[in-house]
Amino acid sequence: MDITTLIGIIVAFCLVGVSILMGGPGSWFINYPSIMIVMGGTIGATLINYPLSEVLSVLKVTKNVFMHKSQPYNKLIPLIVDFSKMARREGILSFDAHLKDIKDPFLVKAFRMSVDGMDIDAIENVLSTEIAYLEERHRLGADIFSTMGTYAPAVGMLGTIIGLVQMLMQMKDPSSIGAPMAVALLTTFYGTLLANLVFLPISGKLKVRSKQEMIEKQIMLEGIISIQNGDNSNIIEQKLKAFISPKARKAFTTHKAREKVNE
C-alpha cells in the first residue's frame, strides 16, 4: 500500500467533511440529480474523448496509485554490476543460468537478447523503442485523468447554469432564491471537488510514478549497453549511479566496500 495516497485522501476528505458538518446538516450537500449530472457528464465526455479500451485500462492503472512500489535502485544497480562482473569473468552466455532469478521482465528481455547474440545496435533499438512507447502509454493514463479533471468543473458549471436558469425562470420573490441557488451551486461543488481532490492529484501521481519507472528503465538500458561494450564494472557502477540522487548513492557504500573485499 502506498500509504501517502491513502493519507492524502483521508486528510483531504475528512477536512472537507468536517467543514461541511460544522456549518449545518451534511444532507445539504447530497443531491442525487447533481451527482448524476456531474459524474455522468464527465464520464460521457471522457468516453467521447478516449477509446473504451483505454478508459477501462485506466481502472487498472489507478490501482498503481494506491499500491506501494519501493524504489529498487539499491537492488537494481548492484544486480547489473554483478552481471557485468559475470560477463567479464565467464562471458555473456553465462547469464542464461541466472535469468530466472531476475524479476523485472524488461531486464530479463534485455539480458535474453544479449545471450541470444543480438548485436548491440539492435538491442538498443528494441529497448529504446519499448521505453518510448511505454512512456507514451503511461502518459495516456495520466492524460485521461487530467482530462477528467478539466471536464468535471466544466460539467459542474453547466449544472449550475441549468439550476440558475430554472430558478430564475420561476422566481417571484427575490428572498426565496436561497435554497434553489444552493442546490444549483452543488454541481460546481462536486465538479471542483472531483477535479482537485481526485482526478488531478491521481493524474499527477501517475506522472511521478511513470517518471520513476522511466529512470529505472534508463538505468537498465545504460547497464546492458555498457555490459555489451565490455565496460569495467567500476565504470558501469559510476554510470548507473549518475542517474540517482547523492543521498540514494550512499546506500551502496557499504555494499561496495564489501564487494571490494571479496573481489
67 binds a second copy (CB under 8 A): no
Task: By CB under 8 A, name the one of 63, 100, 101, 173 that touches a second copy.
Answer: 173
CB atoms within 10 A of CB 231: 18
Q: Are 88 and 236 in contact (CB under 8 A)?
A: no
- Whole-angstrom distance, CA of residue 63 vs CA of residue 176: 46
Task: By CB under 8 A, name the one of 1, 52, 257, 261 that touches a second copy.
Answer: 52
Distances (CA, A) of 29 to 32, 66, 126, 190, 232: 10, 27, 53, 9, 65
Q: At its nearest, how many Å lie between a second copy and the CB of residue 74?
A: 13
Phi, psi of 103 (to 5 degrees): -95, -35
Q: At its nearest, how many Å lie between a second copy and the CB of residue 236?
A: 10
Residues numbered 139 to 158 that lie near a second copy (CB under 8 A) are 140, 147, 151, 154-155, 157-158
Q: At its nearest, how many Å lie between a second copy and the CB of residue 86?
A: 21
- Whole-angstrom distance, CA of residue 140 vs CA of residue 39: 21
Positive/negative CA dihedral, 195, 201, 204, 209: negative
Residues 2-41 as x/- pattern, contact with a second copy by CB under 8 A: xxxx-xxxxxxxxxx-xxx-xxx---xx---xx-xx--xx
86 vs 157, which CB is nearer to a second copy?
157
Residues 206-245 as x/- pattern, contact with a second copy by CB under 8 A: --x--x---x------x--------x---x--xx--xxxx
Task: By CB under 8 A, name the one of 195, 220, 224, 227 that touches a second copy.
Answer: 195
Q: At its nearest, how many Å lie between a second copy and the CB of residue 240?
A: 9
175 binds a second copy (CB under 8 A): yes
Q: Are 242 and 177 in contact (CB under 8 A)?
A: no
Residues numbered 68 to 127 that lie near a second copy (CB under 8 A) are 105, 113, 118, 122, 125-127
- Whole-angstrom distance, CA of residue 166 vs CA of residue 105: 58
Per-residue DSSP letter, 196: I
Q: At its nearest, how many Å lie between a second copy and the CB of residue 254?
A: 19
